[in-house]
Amino acid sequence: MTRKRLLWFAFGAVCVGSLWIGLQFWRSRPEGVNILLVTLDTTRSDRIGCYGYQGALTPAIDQLAQRGILFERAYAPAPMTLPAHATILTGLLPPEHGLRTNGLNQLGDQVPTLAELLSQGGYSTAAFVAAFVLDSKFGLDRGFQTYDDDLSDTPDADHPLHRARNGDRVVDLALSWLDRNRGGPFFCWVHLYEPHYPYLSHQDEFGTRFAGRPYDAEIAFADLQVGRLMEFLSDRGLDTQTVVVIAGDHGEGLYDHHEKTHAYLLYNSTMQVPLVVAQPGRFSAGRRERAVVSLADLYPTLLDCLDLAPPRTGTGRSLLQALLGRSLPNSVCYGETDEPYVDSGWARLRSLTTEKWKYIRTTRPELYDLEHDPAETRDLAGAHPERVDKLESQLRDFESRLAAYQAPGVQLSEQDRRALASLGYAAGGALAAKVSPPRALAAEPLPDVKDRIAHYNKLEEARELMGLRDYPQGARVLQEIVEAAPDYARAHGHLGVCLAEMGRYPEAESHYRRVLELGRDVESAQLNLGLVCRAQNKIDEAVAEFEAALKVNPQSADAHWYLATTLQQREQDQANPEKAKKAILHYWAVVRLRPEDVQAMVNLSWLLATHEKAEIRDGARAVRLAEQACKRTDYQAPPALDALAAAYAETARFDEAARTIEQCLALPGVVHDPQMAGALRYRLRLYQSGSPYREK
């Protein structure tokens, strides 16, 4: 066969295979079965009414549990949002799907998702997520015909660390979509972020009922949104046709084991989650299942509810027999967190949860008897070394059976990094993840997070103070940390930021150099070190640090930006056009790496339009850049209009240059700035006389 015929044959085989899979799907799928998946971010099971918490106000979840099955011992695979949700949607554990922390990677195309399979089978699919940590750039959108992750309407008045959408807004959007697609079959995923720190008290809904208990108020508010979804299904007669899943992605420390929030430890406070599944008339009602189950079990369970087999073998198992009222054997649940290492250079944690035991692998392993000590208050590792050895062997055997997968990395813009940081996640963690362990620690065990968690909590306190721009108090807190833990690189880095913001540049410089000595977060430390050198007018040292940062990460838009602005400053001081040429190259790199960066476009356009050396100028490119900057700012940014006018003048389009300056002079920000207005009028006279502007 010729190559062309082979290609047509292969294409035909794929089409026939896809058609056969689709026919099998439609033949075997229970008629009219919809799926509504509601994930509750940062929600502890022991703070919900149906799990026995007397202080809860969760009638919607409680009623759903009465109509379905409540899993008393459901566990997350990781105490972080992105890895846990990837497990829910793929049935794979973090080592298998490759998303092991927030913000570093995206789900690989070859990893099939629940939405992908259902969409191929004729389902209408939609997701409505409340936080940037689940943005489509991380790959969970695959298979969803609608993936609503638009956070542009997030109120600016929220707490400085709280940048997610409110649950009522998310459910408004979901209900609108459900109303349009209620003819089914549909798969709708709704993500509610409310219980995530910082907690809001929701006094408009609950008055003073939750005074001093804002975390419980957040869960109650999330329950109100669950109630709205349940009411929709009931009013449209869809409740008996819809499998409803309510699942937490992970819990919250609430200072149990000294952990304020989550991500660093693997105790039940952050790993045990609520899980309720219901379909009235089909599944058992009011049943409580005691077997140990994992969020990885949801993917095969939902496919099993539709008589479908997963396309690849994963760790998760189907729980359908429990939904139908039959006994479910116990399993073991794997848990992990790399966050202590990625964020701080401390030991990674792995855990194995069985019917009776919780084993945590770390520098100093831990063992808990969950039957008699569910709160994990008594570490029995020293008393039962043989049990520790047995569970360690079992954990190693479990890990050996996992098909490890390295998810592709994701490129974050500076805006993306700020969005992650606003949610309390270390957007710079990617840098630390690329750095080898410090030499001083490589030959000995890494610090155990349980010995350092108090320092981490104080660091988070300092970060909040920095968010409020209270740098003196933030510096005092951070100074206490570095005195107690001199090898805590993140604390030195944050202290450097506080000191720099206070103008104490030599002190800031010493702490950035300490970060470099410790070998963590090298790129960030070098960038900050370059900035404090520049602030002290040590320009050559600043350039050297920025160049060193580029060697660590050639794709660092920040490093290119700082180099460009610093070289431009040096060129103006020394009248050296070679500096300007280098600055231009770095500005182009910023525009390529960060195409939304208007300031880079403006600076580059200005250089290309106004430099006194003809060899530097390029009017045509200057016009294109400035026009793009003006479009992005809706022609309301004076610097962009000023650059556009200069670019027009460089290309002898003086009438357009004059009109652009006149447009700029009419902007409110210019009218009330006499100095800016005077400079613009000077350039207007130049353009009206047929002369371009030259920057000396």
User: What pLDDT is stored for residue 414 in this prediction?
Assistant: 63
Residue 158 has pLDDT above 70, yes or no: no
Cα 638 to chain centroid distance, Å, stands at 34
User: What pLDDT is stored for residue 428 in this prediction?
Assistant: 41
Residue 12 has pLDDT above 90, yes or no: no
pTM above 0.75, yes or no: yes
User: What pLDDT is stored for residue 571 in this prediction?
Assistant: 75
Eight-class DSSP state of 38: E
CA–CA distance, 5 with 229 (Å, rounded to integer): 52
pLDDT tens for residues 452-506?
Answer: 999 999 999 999 899 899 999 999 999 999 999 999 999 999 999 999 999 999 9
Mean pLDDT in residue range 527-534: 95
pLDDT tens for residues 251-278?
Answer: 999 999 999 999 999 999 999 999 999 9
Q: Dig out the tokens for 223 from the structure.
A: 């329950």
Q: Dig out the tokens for 1 from the structure.
A: 């066969």
pLDDT tens for residues 450-465?
Answer: 999 999 999 999 998 9
Considering just the CA atoms, what is the radius of gyration of the chain in Å?
29
Cα 30 to chain centroid distance, Å, stands at 36
User: What pLDDT is stored for residue 417 in this prediction?
Assistant: 67
> In 3D, which of 350, 40, 351 has the Cα closest to residue 170?
40
Least confident interval from 329-338, 347-356, 431-440, 675-684:
431-440
User: What pLDDT is stored for residue 184 in this prediction?
Assistant: 81
What fold, for 21-325?
Alkaline Phosphatase, subunit A (3.40.720)
User: What pLDDT is stored for residue 24 in this prediction?
Assistant: 42
C-beta separation of 75 from 292 below 8 A: yes
Query: What secondary structure does DSSP assign to 658-679, as a single string?
Result: HHHHHHHHTSHHHHT-HHHHHH
Residue 11 has pLDDT above 60, yes or no: no
C-beta separation of 302 from 121 below 8 A: no
82 SS3 class: helix
CA–CA distance, 551 with 432 (Å, rounded to integer): 15
Interior/surface letters 149-168, b for 16+ CB within 10 angstroms, e for the rest: beeeebeeeeeebbbbbbbe
**pLDDT band for position 92 (cuts 50, 70, 90):** very high
User: What pLDDT is stored for residue 104 in this prediction?
Assistant: 83
CA–CA distance, 314 with 387 (Å, rounded to integer): 28
User: What pLDDT is stored for residue 418 in this prediction?
Assistant: 64
Query: Higher model confidence: residue 184 or residue 603?
Result: 603
Is the domain defined by 595-696 classed in CATH 1.25.40? yes
Eight-class DSSP state of 695: B
Query: Higher model confidence: residue 606 or residue 415?
Result: 606
Eight-class DSSP state of 40: E
CA–CA distance, 499 with 379 (Å, rounded to integer): 41
User: What pLDDT is stored for residue 405 in this prediction?
Assistant: 84
User: What pLDDT is stored for residue 25 in this prediction?
Assistant: 42
Residue 454 exposed, middle or buried by CB count within 10 Å (0-12, 13-18, 19+): middle
Mean pLDDT in residue range 417-433: 51
Count of other CB atoms within 10 angstroms of residue 691: 12
Domain segments of the chain: what residues?
A: 21-325, 595-696
Residues in the chain: 696
CA–CA distance, 33 with 381 (Å, rounded to integer): 48
Cα–Cα distances (Å) from 532 to 427, 506, 519, in that order, read 21, 8, 19
C-beta separation of 570 from 539 below 8 A: yes
Position 179, amino acid: D
- The alpha carbon dihedral of 74, 78, 84, 86 has a sign of negative
Q: Which spans in 236-337 are helix H? A: 268-271, 298-305, 320-323
Query: Higher model confidence: residue 427 or residue 673?
Result: 673
Is the peptide bond prior to 185 cis by the omega test (within 30 degrees of 0)?
yes
Vertex 284 angle, CA 280 and 289, to 5°:
130
CA–CA distance, 173 with 176 (Å, rounded to integer): 5
In a 13 Å sphere around the CA of 378, the CA atoms on its Cβ side amount to 9
434 SS3 class: coil
- Please state the three-class secondary structure of 534-601 as a single string: HHCCCHHHHHHHHHHHHHHCCCCHHHHHHHHHHHHHHHHHHCCHHHHHHHHHHHHHHHHHCCCCHHHH
Q: Dig out the tokens for 47 from the structure.
A: 């703070």
- Please state the three-class secondary structure of 275-290 as a single string: EEEECCCCCCCCEEEE
CA–CA distance, 498 with 148 (Å, rounded to integer): 37
C-beta separation of 85 from 140 below 8 A: yes
User: What pLDDT is stored for residue 32 in this prediction?
Assistant: 75
C-beta separation of 446 from 341 below 8 A: yes
Across the chain, how many H-helices and E-strands are there? 30, 13
Which residue has tokens 């191929």? 120
**pLDDT band for position 422 (cuts 50, 70, 90):** low
Position 273, amino acid: V
User: What pLDDT is stored for residue 2 in this prediction?
Assistant: 44
Q: Dig out the tokens for 627 from the structure.
A: 């026009």
> In 3D, which of 626, 635, 590 has the Cα closest to residue 607?
626
Percent of the chain clearing pLDDT 90 (strictly above): 78
